[in-house]
Structure 1
């Protein structure tokens, strides 16, 4: 009987040792995540989709700002009498207006998508 108990005991001992190793591994992983150096390195990992999206959004917003600045500059130049082509000024203002409206629509869609995600049940 002791031989059977010894074999069963050895199997249980191996299982306990495997579980102990898993606990130690997870504990070590948690310590690495909570270490001060890990927080600085962590934002680099989600760089792929989120970083690309924020870069694209920032680039689009910069282009809109640039378009609005150009339209404002042409309007001021027209008021000072430096630019005499009214069509050029009006075209720049329309372009800036359309760019702003498009940006506003993108913001509205993103906000709506965020709200839909927040309403989802987990």
Structure 2
């Protein structure tokens, strides 16, 4: 798998996660970026994608908890849509991880 194909997949993943998440809240002031995770770098984009998947899962969990506690402002269909968004995002993250591991193994098995 070529680098451009991986970058294309990551960009698609980022745009879909952004569309699914809608407007997101700002980052906390105490969140320190790790070395090599600048925006635009591979590790930075990967970290951001994992963060967006985490936000979707937390949002879905909060919506489900609100529904279970009887919040009148939360409907069942909202809970189901949020849970499905989180599930799809997680499955896509797993597939990207699998592809990256496969590409790494292919590179490592190349004769020198």
Q: Which residue of 1 aligns with 2:65?
A: 76
Q: TM-score, normalised by structure 1?
A: 0.58
Unaligned runs of 5+ in 1: 1-43
Q: TM-score, normalised by structure 2?
A: 0.63
CA distance in 2, matches of 1:64, 1:58: 10
CA distance in 1, matches of 2:104, 2:47: 18
C-alpha distance after superposition, 1:50-83 (max 9, x if no partner):
x700000000000000000000000000000014
Whose RCO is larger (CA < 8 A, sep 6+)? 2
Structure 1 or 2: larger helix share? 1
* Count of aligned pairs: 74
Structure 1 residue ranges, 4+ long, deviating more than 6 angstroms after superposition: none
Larger radius of gyration: 1
